[in-house]
Amino acid sequence: MDLNVVILAAGKGTRMKSRLPKVLQPLAKKPLLAHVLSTSIQLNAHKVIVVYGHGGDRVKTEIARHFPAAPIHWVEQSEQLGTGHAVQQALDLLETNTRTLILYGDVPLISEATLSRFLNEVQPGECGVITVKMDDPTGYGRIVRDHSGVVREIVEEKDAGKEIRKIEEVNTGIMLADSIDLQQWVPTIENKNAQGEYYLTDLVRISNDHEVPVIGCRVKDPIEVEGVNDKRQLAKLERMLQKHLADRLLVAGATLADPERIDIRGDVEVGQDCFIDVNTIFEGTNRLGDNVQIGPNCLIQNSVIGSNSVIKANTVLENVVVGEACDIGPYARLRPGTQLADQVKIGNFVETKNIRMDEGSKANHLTYLGDSVIGKAVNIGAGTITCNYDGANKHQTVIGDQAFIGSNCSLVAPVNIGAGATVGAGSTISKEAKEHALTVTRAKQITVDNWTRPIKEPK
Ligand code: UD1
Ligand code: CA
């Protein structure tokens, strides 16, 4: 049977105390809802429906940015009258002869593996709910099973008496049923409860009334079903997720100076014997070769770092390709479009943007290199700047192999520095510097004898 997925994401999230809709709150820099959508897409669902409400347009645009290719069906729930009411808004969109899996936009880390298991354990014609045992079940709906283990009822905390509150098995919110059953049963849900809401959880009782058994599938890892309602829960889940991601890196063979002081907001792939010092943040998709050493406090985004390269403390890499055996930092900032071949050295306070630098070239100190193509074994002196921007347009600087640029030069683009050229310190180069020649543009040094410095005038 094909699968439809309905994601409930209309809640206001009052407890977040934020202008940002709850389902857009970031977990590992990705909106909560985007985590759930990624998982839904992995399930090959025939149709994915998101019930949105609060902050609707913002939710749609933000999510579209994360999933440009995915066909997501949006249904509005203009008034948030409860989870049952939310599902009701999607009923018309459900396809015939399908099952519907209901996920929550604020339960972001449910895994594809757990959901696949759930889809296998619950047969068509049955109803299912994912549950978890919690040491502290406060706030969650409690699972009431009969002697045979069938789930009879879910009772919300606010409607529960003392005995029911003692139950530690809780509702994760994730449910599965035949679409046709949902279409018949959901409209019959009432709102006679402590919160005056239409509870989706009433479906369990209704299903039992129709003699359709409700299977409770328990998950072990609470991280998968942790709901996020306020900033404290968001912070807690972020730490749980980071711990899990750090653990994955350790399993892959990386050495982490402290697994609790690394943040991964995306994917990191590591080769053998990589070392990552404390407080480094990885964002987007990053790939490290073998024996890559990363110093403390680096920010690494969407970059590839070749084997045996060293990235020293406080370096920022953003959409960069670093070759093998490079030596970068400390305090370097490599911006988008930077491509370094092998054995390149970029030292402290060097900024690069949209450049190619070939094997063995160096810019060791205090330099800006933008829109440049730099050959092999080039030496860029301290304080050298490519003047790539004329106030309106960007222009290219081309530097040939083995050129030597002295300290504190301005290379006014568009400009070529020939192979093997030497540019004297303090030169402003606005015309081609000939290959294998020395070019110097600074004024000649003069000496004025007995020079008296200006003195302060009396007030
Ligand atoms: C819900 C469950 C509870 C379960 C818990 C797990 C019900 C009645 N209760 O409680 O049993 O233990 O989740 O996290 O289902 N939403 C809408 N429209 C609405 C109301 C909610 O789209 O009108 C969405 C929210 O955006 C959220 C999800 O549904 O993604 C859950 O709503 P929330 O109000 O957080 O329910 P809980 O009180 O946490
Ligand atoms: Ca919730």
The CATH number linked to 338 is 2.160.10.10
> Tokens for 83?
């989870």
Angle at 329 between CA 323 and CA 335, to 5 degrees: 65
**Could you tell me the distance, in angstroms and rounded to a whole number, from the CA of residue 301 to the centre of ligand 1?**
34
Which atom of ligand 1 has the smallest separation from the CA of 227?
14
Position 443 scores a pLDDT of 87
Q: What is the pLDDT of residues 66-113, one digit of tens each?
A: 998 888 999 999 999 999 999 999 999 999 999 999 999 999 999 999
Neighbours of ion ligand 2 (CB under 5 A): 106, 227, 229
Position 54 scores a pLDDT of 75
Q: What is the average pLDDT across 135-139?
A: 91
Which atom of ligand 1 has the smallest separation from the CA of 53?
22
Measured CA to CA, the distance from residue 59 to residue 395 in angstroms comes to 39
Q: Does position 44 have pLDDT exceeding 90, yes or no?
A: yes
Residues 289 and 187 both lie in one domain: no
Residues 274 and 213 both lie in one domain: no
Domain assignment of residue 459, yes or no: no
**Could you tell me the distance, in angstroms and rounded to a whole number, from the CA of residue 250 to the centre of ligand 2?**
32
Q: What is the dihedral of CA 89, 90, 92, 96, to 10 degrees?
A: -150
Domain end: 198, 225, 252, which one? Answer: 225
Q: Indicate left, alpha or beta for 39 from its phi (over 0: left) and psi (-120 to 50: alpha).
A: alpha
Handedness of CA 176, 177, 182, 183 (dihedral sign): positive
Domain assignment of residue 66, yes or no: yes
DSSP alpha helix (H) spans, 43-129 = 56-66, 83-88, 112-121
- Residue closest via CA to ligand 1's atom 34 equals 11
Residues 14 and 149 both lie in one domain: yes
- Residue closest via CA to ligand 1's atom 33 equals 11
Asked if 312 and 294 touch (Cβ cutoff 8 Å), the reply is: no
250 pLDDT band (50/70/90 cuts)?
very high
In three-state secondary structure terms, 219 is: strand
Residue of 83, 132, 158 to test ligand 1 pocket, by largest number of atoms within 8 Å of CB: 83
Position 11 scores a pLDDT of 84
- 422 Cβ contact list (under 8 Å, min separation 6): 403, 404, 406, 437, 438, 439
Radius of gyration of the chain (CA): 31
Which residue out of 73, 365, 395, 436 is catalytically annotated?
365
Domain end: 207, 225, 243, which one? Answer: 225
Measured CA to CA, the distance from residue 303 to residue 270 in angstroms comes to 12
Residues 191 and 320 both lie in one domain: no
φ and ψ of 240, to 5 deg: -60, -45
Residue of 67, 39, 40, 54 whose CA lies nearest to 9: 54
Lowest pLDDT segment from 42-56, 106-120, 246-260, 415-429:
42-56
Domain assignment of residue 295, yes or no: yes
Q: What is the average pLDDT across 338-352?
A: 98
Domain assignment of residue 207, yes or no: yes
Domain assignment of residue 101, yes or no: yes
Residue of 16, 104, 142 to test ligand 1 pocket, by largest number of atoms within 8 Å of CB: 104
Residues 149 and 175 both lie in one domain: yes
**Could you tell me the distance, in angstroms and rounded to a whole number, from the CA of residue 43 to the centre of ligand 2?**
23
Q: Does position 418 have pLDDT exceeding 90, yes or no?
A: yes
**Could you tell me the distance, in angstroms and rounded to a whole number, from the CA of residue 73 to the centre of ligand 2?**
22
The residue whose two tokens read 């994760």 is 172
**Relative to the alpha carbon of 82, which ligand is closest?**
1
Domain assignment of residue 453, yes or no: no
Residues 32 and 109 both lie in one domain: yes
Residues 194 and 250 both lie in one domain: no
Domain end: 174, 194, 225, which one? Answer: 225
Mean pLDDT, the chain, integer: 96
Q: Cβ < 6 Å from ligand 1: which residues?
A: 8-11, 51, 77, 80-83, 85-86, 104-107, 140-141, 154, 156, 170-173, 199-201, 227, 229
Residues 208 and 289 both lie in one domain: no
Report how far apart, in Å, the C-alpha atoms of 145 and of each of 6, 38, 167, 216, 221 are.
Answer: 25, 32, 10, 9, 21
Residues 215 and 245 both lie in one domain: no
**Could you tell me the distance, in angstroms and rounded to a whole number, from the CA of residue 160 to the centre of ligand 2?**
17
Amino acid identity of 312?
A: K
Per the structure, how many domains does the chain have? 2
Domain assignment of residue 450, yes or no: no
- Residue closest via CA to ligand 1's atom 37 equals 140
Which atom of ligand 1 has the smallest separation from the CA of 85?
23
Angle at 365 between CA 429 and CA 323, to 5 degrees: 95
Residues 318 and 358 both lie in one domain: yes
Q: What is the pLDDT of residues 372-397, one digit of tens each?
A: 999 999 999 999 999 999 999 999 99
Asked if 328 and 361 touch (Cβ cutoff 8 Å), the reply is: no
**Could you tell me the distance, in angstroms and rounded to a whole number, from the CA of residue 228 to the centre of ligand 2?**
6
3-state class percentages of the chain: helix first, strand second, coil last, to nearest 5? 20, 35, 45
- Structural domain harbouring 196: 2-225
Position 91 scores a pLDDT of 98
- Residue closest via CA to ligand 1's atom 9 equals 141
Domain assignment of residue 251, yes or no: yes
Amino acid identity of 168?
A: E
12 pLDDT band (50/70/90 cuts)?
confident
Which atom of ligand 1 has the smallest separation from the CA of 22?
26
- Residue closest via CA to ligand 1's atom 26 equals 11
CATH of the domain at 35: 3.90.550.10
**Could you tell me the distance, in angstroms and rounded to a whole number, from the CA of residue 187 to the centre of ligand 2?**
22
Q: Does 85 participate in catalysis according to the annotation?
A: no
Residues 268 and 159 both lie in one domain: no
- Residue closest via CA to ligand 1's atom 10 equals 140
Strands (DSSP E) contained in 77-168 are 98-104, 127-133, 142-145, 151-155
Pairing label, strands 362-374, 2-9? unpaired
Q: What is the pLDDT of residues 117-134, one digit of tens each?
A: 999 999 999 999 999 999
Residues 345 and 276 both lie in one domain: yes
In three-state secondary structure terms, 258 is: coil
One DSSP character per residue, 309-355 reads -EE-TT-EEESEEE-TT-EE-SS-EE-TTEEE-TT-EEEEEEEEEEE
- Residue closest via CA to ligand 1's atom 20 equals 82
